[in-house]
Structure 1
Amino acid sequence: MVKSTEMWMGLRSLIRLYDKMLKKVCTEHDLTTIEADVISFLQNNPGKDTAADIVELRGLSKGAVSKAVESLIRKSLLERMPDTEDRRRIHLKLKPEAKPVTEMIDDVRREFLNTVLEGFTKEELEEHTRFFQRMFDNTLRELERRGR
């Protein structure tokens, strides 16, 4: 069994590697890491398109997300869209000008996955998926039990 310290160190290493790989997107497109995170999140989570969604699901601070959203709007990569039913709710939408950034983020994601999953068989990857899904289900069930 993996020791908890090794597991946490391994997870942090994965995140650190992805962040390092994402840096080239930031450098090429003059973005902060948070701005790239916001773009990536909106690109990959249809229907989760408010600043509150980003804060909750990515675990970023409200202030950091707010600052990144304002900057991305100034850079013409993002726009605000009022909700048709609840005017207090504001949706964030990537503009067509963000396409080169989203394409590069896709390339980084593919490179990252190819790197960290190198050498795994199809069967191992399927087992990995089942393992993590069960772990995530257990986690969500326990969070519900504890009242999130």
Structure 2
Amino acid sequence: MTTAAEFLLHIRRVIRLYESLNRQVCYTWHITQIETDIIAFLKNNPEKDTARDIVEFRMLQKGNVSQAVEDLIQKGFLARRPDERDRRRIHLSLTERALPIAADIGRVRGEFLDRLFAGFTPGERRMYQELNQKLFANAALAEAEESKESK
């Protein structure tokens, strides 16, 4: 049986592998890790295009996202436009200039998954996905329960 410490260590190791592979994208394009996360999020989730969406779905700090979005706009990688119905709501979109970065991030993510699942059969990968979905569902439920109890 895996201990909690081992489980958390394994998660951290996977994150470190991803960050290590992603460093070249950051270096090449002079952007930060969080900026790559934002570009990838907007590329992969065009219907979720506000800073609030990024904070909520990527579980990142609001201040960090706000600063990174501003930096990406200044670098010409993001554009913003107010919502037609609610001018306080700002929509974000990738500029043409950001598309090669998004492609590089996609390549890195593919390499990351290839390395992570090296030696897995297709059946083992499917099984991993099914079990992982159960783990994530349990974690989300427990988090919601904890949130309710702390109020």
TM-score with structure 2 setting the length: 0.91
Structure 1 match to 2:27: 27
Q: Deviations over 1:57-109 (max 9, x none)?
A: 22222221111111111111100121122211111100111111001001000
Q: Is it true that 1:43 corresponds to 2:43 in the alignment?
A: yes
Greater displacement, 39-48 / 114-123: 39-48
Superposed CA offset, 1:19-40 (max 9, x none):
1111100111111112111111
* Local SS of the residue matching 1:119: coil
Q: Under a length normalisation based on structure 1, what TM-score does the superposition of the two structures give?
A: 0.93
Structure 1: give runs of 5+ residues left out of the alignment. Answer: none
Name the amino acid aligned to 2:16: R
Which residue in the other structure is 1:74 paired with? 74
Superposed CA RMSD = 1.4
CA distance in 1, matches of 2:142, 2:31: 37
1:1-148 alignment, distance < 5 Å: 1-147=1-147
Identical aligned residues as a percent: 45
